[in-house]
Each structure stands twice: as C-alpha cells, then as structure tokens.
Chains A and B, each alone.
Chain A
Amino acid sequence: MLVTRVFSLIGKRAISTSVCARAHGSVVKSDDFALPSYVDRRDYPLPDVAHVRQLSASQKALKEKEKASWSSLTRDEKVELYRIRFNESFAEMNRGTNEWKTVVGTALFFIGFTALVLIWEKHYGEYSVESRAAPTHSAQGCAGRTCTGPWSQRWAPPLQGLSQGTFGAQGYGAGDSSVSPSLSWSA
C-alpha cells in the first residue's frame, strides 16, 4: 500500500490529481498514510476505498436510491455515483501531457547555448586569433642563423578546430611561410 502511495506521489499525475481535486471531502489528513488509500492507477483498477469518503446529504440520498432498482437512476445520477467512487476515469488518468514540448525546447535551448560558448571560445579563448599572434623576433631568443632558413621553424601540424579557418603556413613563430614545410591546400 505504501509503495503505491509513493508511486502516486512521485508521478506527476498526482500533482494534477491534487490540483483537480473536487471539493467532495478528498482532503487527506497527515495520519492517514497508513490507512487504505485511493489511487488512480492503471494497474490497480479498483482502489481500496472510494474517492469520496464524507458524503453530503444529497450524496447520501443518492446512495440510498442506489439500493433500489438501478433503472430508476438518471444518467446524471449514475455519473455522480461513479464520481463518488472514482476520481478519474481510465481515459482521464491515461491522458498524455505536453511535457515533451518543454523537454525538447529546453534541450534545444541548451544546445544553442553551446554555440554561444563556442563563439566566446573562438573570440576570447585559447584558440582566438589574438592568442596566435606571432612573437617578436627577439622574443624567440634567436641567435645566429638558426632563426632563419628552412630549419627555423619546427614543423607543426595544421591547426584545426577553433583556429583560423584555413590550413596553411601557420607556424608557431615568425618565419618565412614560403619555406614552411607544411601542406597547403587550395580550398
């Protein structure tokens, strides 16, 4: 009993159930959790207790009329008897929600936020154009002929990803790009 009670508390349907509670004495006091309770569950079609426990005067009269021949009941009285016994019908308890719209919309929003993060990284981050500015000749610590010539630059793999758009002679220091031993593609 407690398990079904917990399930009905976890399920979001319980929230709408409590919101849609009809004013027919379906208030649950705090010490009722150990007593048999009512649940709207597809796999528990006949709950242990009726939905409405405290009947009004008209409902009590209706229950008395129910003891007579049922053919004398009008359609509205039959529906009222049903609503005394049950809170939601199977069609009502199984109704779908619009939760998927919130979920998909929020997911797409955060995917879009990722693009903002990438834009920021490109502009300000480690891969921005400013961070790739070539250091000055003296800052390299060049001495002699090691700073010029075909071996002045160590071969570096082409920069990918957030770096500048084209492959090419993007070395890590000032150098003669025409002799840089990197591949150049025409795109």
Chain B
Amino acid sequence: MARQSYPKCAPDFHDKYGNVVLASGTTFCIAIWTYIVTQVEIEWNLSPVGRVTPKEWRGQ
C-alpha cells in the first residue's frame, strides 16, 4: 500500500521562525556571556586552588 505524503497545509510559528529563534538566541547568549566573562571586571570567585600563589602580606 503506497503511502502518500501529507504536507502540512499551514506551517505553524515554529516551522516558520523556529530556526531563526534558535540561532539568534544561541548567538546572543554566547556573545553576551563571553563579553561579560572576559571584559567586565566581575569577581567570579573561582577557586584559588591551583590558580593563585599566596604571598607575604606584610612585605619583606
């Protein structure tokens, strides 16, 4: 029995704009977070283990 393909007679919102919304949302999110992590001086409080070396605080 042959199967006829039944094309959607009316593409819904997700068919029309899904790819655009996904691509633009991903791009915007990655770009803005890359900016905020690298350019804006925010202390993210990453663990100092393996990253910083304690030094004498009073100076020698």
Report the Cα distance A75→B2, complex, angstroms: 9
Question: Residues of A within 8 Å of B, CB-based: how many?
Answer: 46
Which B residues fall within an 8 A CB radius of A?
A: 2-4, 6, 8-10, 12-15, 17-26, 28-29, 31-33, 35-36, 40-43, 45, 48, 51-55, 57, 59
Which one of A36-44, A46-54, A112-120, A137-145 contacts B?
A112-120
Question: Is the pair B51, A92 in contact by a Cβ cutoff of 8 Å?
Answer: no
Are B14 and A101 in contact, with the CB atoms below 8 A?
yes
Q: Is A57 close to B, CB under 8 A?
A: no
Residue pair B25, A112 in contact (C-beta under 8 Å): yes
Q: Does A165 sit at the interface, judged by CB under 8 A?
A: yes
Binding site for B on A (CB under 8 A): 12, 15-16, 19-20, 75, 79, 88-89, 91-92, 97-102, 104-109, 111-112, 115-116, 118-119, 122, 159-167, 178, 182-187
Which residues of chain B are near A165, meaning CB under 8 Å?
41-43
21 contacts between A and B (CB under 8 A): A16-B10, A16-B12, A19-B12, A88-B6, A101-B18, A102-B18, A105-B18, A105-B23, A105-B24, A105-B25, A105-B26, A106-B25, A107-B25, A111-B29, A111-B33, A118-B36, A122-B42, A165-B42, A166-B43, A183-B57, A185-B55
Is B54 a contact of A185 with CB atoms below 8 Å? Answer: yes
Q: Which residues of B are found within 8 Å of A183, using beta-carbon distances? A: 54, 57
In the assembled complex, the CB of A88 is this many whole angstroms from the nearest CB of chain B, namely: 8
Shortest CB distance A118–B (Å): 6
Q: Which of A106, A115, A178, A187 contacts B21 (CB 8 A)?
A: A106
Known: A101-B19, A108-B22, A119-B35. 20 other contacts (CB 8 A): A19-B9, A98-B19, A100-B18, A102-B21, A102-B22, A104-B22, A104-B25, A105-B20, A105-B25, A107-B25, A112-B28, A115-B36, A118-B36, A159-B43, A164-B43, A178-B59, A185-B52, A185-B54, A185-B55, A186-B55
